[in-house]
């Protein structure tokens, strides 16, 4: 079977009518380009060039083969442009995203992604990290913006994405009651993400260190539900700080002071090695840029630590 190097040698000799000019064009020696064409002719089983004429002309079958060779080379160049030109990507990206990201910097990311890759189609799934990892492992997703990259197998690659500071928030009435109480958190319910999600386990561990061994934690799968329940005074919402800026500015929630900060939530971009790896790495870099811009624009001054715990 012939290869593209042999086709390229044949096409340029025909176009330029000379072995010497073809060799110069391809930065080869004349014996090298002659050898490539000889191998091509041996593969097809007959001569493709009329070597006795000047300039060199293709034979009758050579002219017919030349048209096919040009189409093959053109097709190769078009295929390679998919990987060389960022904006040329035209496939479908199946992206899994946790809700915290979906409700923070993801809209700005989507706008920039569409500008950079106008032919891209996005299939987006919003869920908690464990379920997204499962779907990535089953090849139902190409890429994640999630936590817990340690859970991924050797089939995937990860890159840092963003870190969200966590805080506790309450309605103004509940916040006042907590400030006046003697046992600050002991009898107050908390509102957090589902038990399968990292924020829940981090909260339970944090409260255990404060001496609250069996906290009452209402669990929900959505960030918006935590916000609503917290605003209604149903408990202390445990949320990424950057996602509650608007609610705080409207006076619906108050950030509670903590002597010891909650553990931050660290998010990563994770993608399958076999599914557009270079493209996914580029998407991850864009995501990180958008996350950094969002963090700078939505910084909230931490509450002052309290004297009580």
Residues 81-122 have pLDDT tens digits of 555 455 567 788 899 999 889 988 999 999 999 998 888 889
pLDDT per residue as tens digits for the range 192-202: 988 888 888 88
Cα–Cα distance for residue pair 249/240, rounded to 1 Å: 15
Q: For 227-247, how does the pLDDT look when each residue is reduced to its tens digit (9 = 90+)?
A: 999 999 999 999 888 888 778
Query: Rounded to an integer, what is the distance from CA 66 to the centroid of its chain?
Result: 43
- d(CA 39, CA 24) in angstroms, rounded, equals 19
Tokens encoding 281: 């790495």
Q: If you write DSSP's letter for every residue of 2-59 in order, what string do you get?
A: --HHHHHHHHHHHHHT-HHHHHHHTT--HHHHHHHHHHHHHHHTS--EETTSSS-EE-
pLDDT, greater one: 180 or 301: 180
Q: How many residues does the chain have?
A: 309
Q: How far apart are CA 125 and CA 148, in angstroms?
A: 17
Residue-wise pLDDT for 15-60, tens only, equals: 999 999 999 988 889 999 999 999 999 998 999 999 888 889 999 9
> How many of the other CB atoms lie within 10 Å of CB of 104?
22
Residue-range domains of the chain with CATH: 4-84 (1.10.10.10), 88-164+266-297 (3.40.190.10), 166-262 (3.40.190.10)
């Amino acid at each position: 079977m012939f290869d593209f190097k042999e086709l390229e040698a044949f096409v340029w000799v025909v176009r330029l009518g000379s072995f010497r000019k073809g060799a110069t064009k391809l930065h080869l020696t004349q014996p090298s380009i002659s050898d490539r064409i000889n191998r091509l002719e041996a593969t097809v089983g007959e001569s493709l060039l009329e070597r006795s004429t000047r300039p060199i002309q293709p034979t009758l079958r050579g002219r017919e083969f030349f048209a096919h060779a040009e189409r093959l080379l053109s097709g190769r160049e078009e295929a390679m442009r998919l990987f060389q030109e960022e904006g040329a990507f035209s496939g479908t990206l199946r992206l899994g995203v946790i809700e915290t990201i979906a409700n923070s910097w993801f809209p700005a990311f989507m706008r920039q992604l569409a500008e950079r890759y106008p032919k891209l189609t996005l299939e987006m799934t919003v869920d908690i990290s464990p379920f997204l990892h499962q779907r990535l492992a089953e090849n139902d997703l190409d890429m994640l913006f999630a936590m817990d990259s340690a859970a991924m197998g050797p089939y995937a690659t990860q890159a840092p994405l963003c870190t969200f500071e966590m805080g506790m928030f309450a309605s103004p009435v509940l916040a006042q009651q907590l400030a006046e109480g003697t046992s600050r958190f002991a009898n107050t319910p908390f509102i957090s993400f589902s038990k399968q999600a990292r924020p829940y386990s981090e909260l339970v561990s944090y409260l255990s260190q404060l001496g609250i061994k069996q906290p009452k934690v209402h669990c929900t799968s959505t960030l918006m539900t935590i916000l609503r329940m917290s605003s209604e005074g149903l408990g202390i919402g445990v949320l990424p700080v950057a996602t509650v800026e608007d609610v705080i500015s409207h006076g619906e929630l108050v950030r509670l002071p903590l002597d010891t900060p909650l553990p931050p939530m660290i998010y990563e971009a994770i993608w399958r090695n076999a599914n557009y790896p270079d493209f996914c790495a580029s998407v991850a870099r864009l995501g990180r840029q958008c996350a950094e811009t969002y963090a700078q624009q939505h910084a909230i001054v931490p509450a002052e630590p309290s004297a009580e715990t």
